[in-house]
Amino acid sequence: MYQIEDEGSEECGAMPSDVDDASALPVQVGRNELDRVLEARVYAEFMAVVVKKRLAMASTVINMAEPE
């Protein structure tokens, strides 16, 4: 996992004095939210693969246990 460090003033939500563009903060917040969404999506896709493999393994075990 990775972390994004904010490059702003020490107060939460305050803009640095050298930033002239007022859109800098919303873009940064948007990127952090996007990173969380993407991280959640990657985790969900990973878990889907894990579940599929476990279901395939369980199916194999069930098929081996059935009497012919």
Q: What is the pLDDT of residues 50-60, one digit of tens each?
A: 999 999 999 99
How large is the average pLDDT for residues 33-61? Answer: 93
Half-sphere exposure of 35 (CA within 13 A, CB side): 11
- Average per-residue pLDDT for the chain: 72
Nearest to 8, CA basis, from 38, 39, 27, 37? 27
pTM, full prediction? 0.47
How far is 67 from 29, CA to CA, in rounded Å? 59
Is there a contact between 13 and 32 (Cβ–Cβ < 8 Å)?
no
